Amino acid sequence: MPAILERSTLLRHTLFALVGIGVLLLLIHNLGDYRNSQLAPIAYTVCAAAGLTMLVGQSGQISLGHGAFMAVGAYTFALLQAKWTSSHPNVQLVGLLAAGVVVAAVFGAVVGVAAARLRGPYLAGATLALALGLPSLASYEKLSDHLGGSTGLNVTSPNPPTGVNAYRWQSIICCVSAVLVLWFLSNLSRSRVGRSFRAVRDDEVAAALCGLSVARVQVLAFVVSAGCAGLAGGLLAIINLTAGPGAFPLSLSLSLLAAIVFGGLGSMAGAAYGSVLVVMLNLSWAQTLTDKLSIHSAKVANNMPLMIYGVVLAVAMLAAPYGVQGALHRLRMLATGTRKS
């Protein structure tokens, strides 16, 4: 690696991001509509999972309720899209997604202030109740006219530029967003902010003695993480063409957590691996495997993908406690014969 790239983290990450976008564009161009429609959910899951791994892995706070922040992003997108018509579809798209990020981040700040007082299972309990409670607000009588009740709000897909089909365009939007999020978070993680996150995670008292305001750092982690989830929510709304409470079940929040633990906690690459695994397990691998088994009972066949998902979650944790990233690290140590971590 050239010396300048070793010295400048920003330059290195930017280069990786550009290469990443290039590779993804090539991939999207060569994939069919069906595969692209699978790539997009992976990409928005990466956005949310990367934000969550920043919170859980780096700042040491747990959230079982990131689906709620995604819901905020999606509803913001849907509500504003109905209000704001623009002659520039791309400007409108970026504006709406950014609005989703901002509103979710503000919401994250509110939750973060409460969360900064809570630790471990108490925080887990509070965020779990949030994940279940917030989407139910859509059915509240006084809000359901604005939020569309249990069916939710309609979202129109952004118009693709001429010559690009709709599936590819959705895939491009999601993948570029995912790369931008990864680029931003990688830089943040290597900066003063990221170091303060880790300092607070490792030892709150020592971090406070070094002059860090522990509560402020913890709230900031929630803000960053909720913002990423808000972006993911906006993207989800574009893909699903709707923002409704049904899109944000408890299982969404929990599978985000599964994704980051799966990939290896705290690492951006891990969040990406984990998202691929979790989304593909949910979508297609388990389905393909079920089809291969040629089960006749509909009850068994319908539940097979879910069962495989559950078994894989448990077995993966038993087999690779530190996730994919941890397993890779161990392989690398074996290969080079070093034992230092």
Partner 1 sequence: MFRFLNLTLNGVSLGMIYAAVALALVMIWRATRIVNFAQGGMLMFTTFIAWDLAQRHHINYWVALAVAVGAGLVIGAVAERLLVRPVENGPPLNAVIVTLGLLIFLQALAGMIWGNAQAHSYSPAYSIVGYSAGDRTLLFSPNDVYIVTAVLIVVVVLYLLFQRTSLGLQMRAAAFSPEVARLLGVRVGRLLTLGWAIAAALGALAGILAAGTQTGYVQTVGPFDALLVYGFTAAVIGGLDSPIGAVIGGLLLGIVLSYADSYVSNNIQTMYAFLILIAVLMVRPNGLFSRSAARRV
What residues make contact with partner 1 under the rule CB under 8 A? 56, 62, 114, 117-122, 124-126, 128-130, 132-134, 136-137, 139-142, 144, 204-205, 250-251, 254, 257-258, 261-262, 265, 297, 299-300, 302-304, 306-307, 309-315, 317-318, 321-322
Cα separation, 303 vs 198, whole angstroms: 40
Cβ atoms of 222 and 51 within 8 Å: the answer is: no
Residue number, 19 or 300, with CB nearest to partner 1? 300
Other CB atoms within 10 Å distance of the CB of residue 208: 15
**What count of other Cβ atoms lies within 10 Å of the Cβ of residue 27?**
14
CA 46 from centre of chain? 4
Rounded CA gap, 54 and 282, in Å?
Answer: 24
Closest CB to partner 1 among residues 74, 134: 134
Question: Residue 306 CB, nearest distance to partner 1 (Å)?
Answer: 4
Residue with Cβ nearer partner 1 (87 or 145): 145
CB of 252 to partner 1, least distance (A): 13
Q: Which is nearer to partner 1, 65 or 158 (CB)?
A: 65
Please report the sign of the dihedral spanned by the C-alpha atoms of residue 241, residue 304, residue 127, residue 259.
negative
| CB 68 to partner 1: min, Å | 9
Indicate the SS3 state at residue 154. Answer: strand
- Please, what is the minimum distance in Å from the beta carbon of residue 103 to partner 1? 18
Nearer to partner 1, 181 or 259 (CB): 259
Rounded to the nearest 5°, which phi and psi values hold at 337?
Answer: 75, 10
Q: How far is the CB of 83 from partner 1 (least distance, A)?
A: 25
Whole-number minimum distance, CB 156 to partner 1, in Å? 28
- Residue whose CB is less far from partner 1, 117 or 330: 117
Token reading at 305: 């993908």
CA angle 155, 161, 162 (to 5 degrees): 125
CB 73, min distance to partner 1, A: 19
Compare residues 61 and 76 and give the one whose CB is closer to partner 1: 61
Contacts 24+ apart (CB under 8 A), 322-327: 322/264, 322/265, 323/261, 323/262, 323/263, 323/264, 323/265, 323/270, 323/273, 323/274, 324/262, 324/263, 324/264, 324/270, 324/273, 324/274, 324/277, 325/263, 325/264, 325/267, 325/269, 325/270, 325/273, 326/264
